[in-house]
Amino acid sequence: MSINGSSEKTAETSRGRPDGGFLGLLHKVGLIAVVAGAMCSVGLMLWVGHRNPSRLLLALFAIWVLCPFLALLLANIISKRWSVIIRATLYSVMLVLTLGSLAIYSDVVLRPRSTPAFMFIVVPLGSWLFMTIAVSIAALISGRLSRRGASA
């Protein structure tokens, strides 16, 4: 094993090659969490809205609740060439968003409210905001670090 060989491997890993170590684990756990979180979120939404006679309204709510999870899965597909910082942020957002959404939706189920639909409208909106801010900040930091490294 040569010194050049190991630096080439490191460069390939940071450019989007298969993740190893902690980042790989975070990626796998994040993907599992997003898929499970999407299914559980829709299940909880259907549980709360099972008495609603409008199937169209339930379908629209289901789509709205699923949108942030689908966006994370799409970002995961696109992220193969992103920097390690941005991908680590994305994988962390996957976990935080899933756990946060499930905690809030479970609270709606366990402690009924007069307007439970409000939480199923606001949480996806907040999820979009959280995803956009977190990944944008990571991209900004990553860009600054790469420019600093290029000038050194």
Instruction: Report the pLDDT value the prediction gives residue 123, as an integer from 0 to 100.
Output: 97
Instruction: Report the pLDDT value the prediction gives residue 103, as an integer from 0 to 100.
Output: 97
Instruction: Report the pLDDT value the prediction gives residue 5, as an integer from 0 to 100.
Output: 47
What's the predicted TM-score (pTM) here? 0.81
Instruction: Give the residue, 151 or 93, on which the prediction is more confident.
Output: 93
Where does the chain show beta strands of DSSP type E?
none
Instruction: Report the pLDDT value the prediction gives residue 152, as an integer from 0 to 100.
Output: 56
Nearest-5° Cα angle at 132, 49 to 84 = 120
Within 10 A of 90 (CB to CB), how many other CB atoms are there?
A: 22
Q: What's the CA dihedral at 28, 34, 40, 46 to 10 degrees? A: -160
Residues near 81 by beta carbon (within 8 Å), at least 6 away in sequence: 15, 16
d(CA 57, CA 25): 38
* Domain ranges for the chain: 19-151
For residue range 110-147, what is the model confidence (pLDDT) as tens digits?
998 888 899 999 999 999 999 999 999 999 998 877 76
For residue range 35-80, what is the model confidence (pLDDT) as tens digits?
999 999 999 999 999 888 889 999 999 999 999 999 999 999 999 9
